[in-house]
A and B are shown apart, each in its own frame.
Chain A
């Protein structure tokens, strides 16, 4: 579905990605983990086509060859931060329909927006401005907008930031459901335990390189020490692995 082939990226002189290869198929749910400055967000932006990079392929075609409109129908990206403003929640989510509509939204576009709002449980906020709602609600608006795009691939940069415990679980469950429904979900995460509980595949990054990649069996206490520089113990609660820093 989406693939990075020896992906390199630099901001000016500073090399951020030093040759990353990764192939993600349809319906996978991948968490990208790693310490601050590992290049996770940059990697995600490259995949999303937000940063112009060589070596990213979407359905075996370089991402660079896609037109912005074409790309936006396949890929939706949820950034870490959204600027709050004077746009209503409804109109913000409606932007997710821009890849499909002409100058005015169709009835179908409005329905898709209603549906996305309901899916995130924020339909009551529809006519509020985004500078009148909380940071967590704004994050959900941003995710609803990505859903309204009806993408095949959903790229999310720390989507559980700003969210309370309940909303974190809701968002992760939603992501899991979407992956089960055939969408590809790739998420940059800081909360290791949340990732372990919901994602199916884990990519560990450090210093612009991929350190490990695989399902739960790649986890080891040694890996955490190598990636994060922290000694941990991996236990299990109700069949879910739990990482406890020592």
Chain B
């Protein structure tokens, strides 16, 4: 097999993943307590269909699926990029403290009066924008602290990862402190917020996530060679003309940024940033030219599938999608660890 055939195979994998994503999305659109046959789904997507169908599909299911695609793709790309720049297979924006920071931000907003929850599982947010804004600021702040340190003191990739662990721990302590002083209704709102729920995203949220994702995705596609160089070590990266310290800072910041945007809107949904890039690396290799789009597609496919399972498995009840991704993620994660250890 020559190099061009090898490259072509990756393109085919890309197309296969895209078609799978399309198929799962259509299935997800038609399934649920209110069943819509596939023919009607297509009619609605093409601008026709009955009024009820349009309401259910365009008002409820489609925004949720689009959110799944955007969040999954964002986390897949962010994970792939961080693993490359930090040369650490466990790196994701969540290991940089994004999830714990978001949890702290959201909890703080809630205790300051932005929302409460009755035990029905519904969060009542008096001020949803405050929660989103606080969660976003909390999420990005951990990374900003680490990157400021890295810039001032020239931290190595290993030190950046360890600093992320420290920031996560700091933010979970702060969250515990806030929860300690919260009343029951606020406390349950915090817990429900932490579950992560794609239904929180409406068209407006989706539009914001799409813009953020498109910008960051394009940036990383342009930087694909720098990412490849980074995986070989800083010295080689510098030798082929990559300003590796700068690219590492920008790459880490942008990864944390798209993740923070999605976490602020839909809450914490774990493991996608770990499974999507690693599975693609094992299947198609570590070339970031294909790894970036493949990780985006795999992340989207994974999250939309998980969310569909979460909606249907105990229908009409909906499980938190984070539970499903973690159920998938924990064994996949252990499998990867075993495989990596076996290589030594």
Contacts and interface: CB of A to CB of B under 8 A. Distances in A.
Interface stretch (B43-51, B239-247, B262-270): B239-247
Contacts of B15: none
B241 A69 contact: yes
Interface string A133-145: 0000000001001
B228 A95 contact: yes
A110 interface: yes
A129 B286 contact: yes
Nearest to A83: B233
- Residue among B228, B234, B239, B243 facing the most chain A CB atoms (10 A cut-off): B239
A68 B286 contact: no
A99 B240 contact: yes
Size category of the B interface is: 20 to 34
A99 B241 contact: yes
A48 interface: yes
A61 B286 CA distance: 38
| Chain B at the A interface: SS class | helix
B38 interface: no
Given A86-B286, A126-B3, A129-B285, A98 B240 contact: yes
B343 interface: yes
Contacts of A50: 234-235, 238-239
Interface residues of A, number: 40
B239 A127 contact: no
Contact of A77 (B6, B239, B286): B239
A49 interface: yes
Contacts of B225: 95, 98, 101
Contact of A85 (B3, B224, B231, B242): B231
B152 to A, nearest CB: 15
A149 interface: yes
A91 B229 CA distance: 10
- Residue among A72, A76, A82, A83 facing the most chain B CB atoms (10 A cut-off): A83
B139 to A, nearest CB: 29
A127 B240 contact: no
Contacts of B11: none
Contacts of A6: none
A95 B229 contact: yes
- Residue among A67, A73, A127 facing the most chain B CB atoms (10 A cut-off): A127
A222 interface: no
A87 B231 contact: yes
A155 to B, nearest CB: 9
Interface of A: 45, 48-50, 67-69, 71-73, 75-79, 81-83, 85-88, 90-92, 95-96, 98-99, 101, 103, 110, 126-127, 129, 131, 142, 145-146, 149
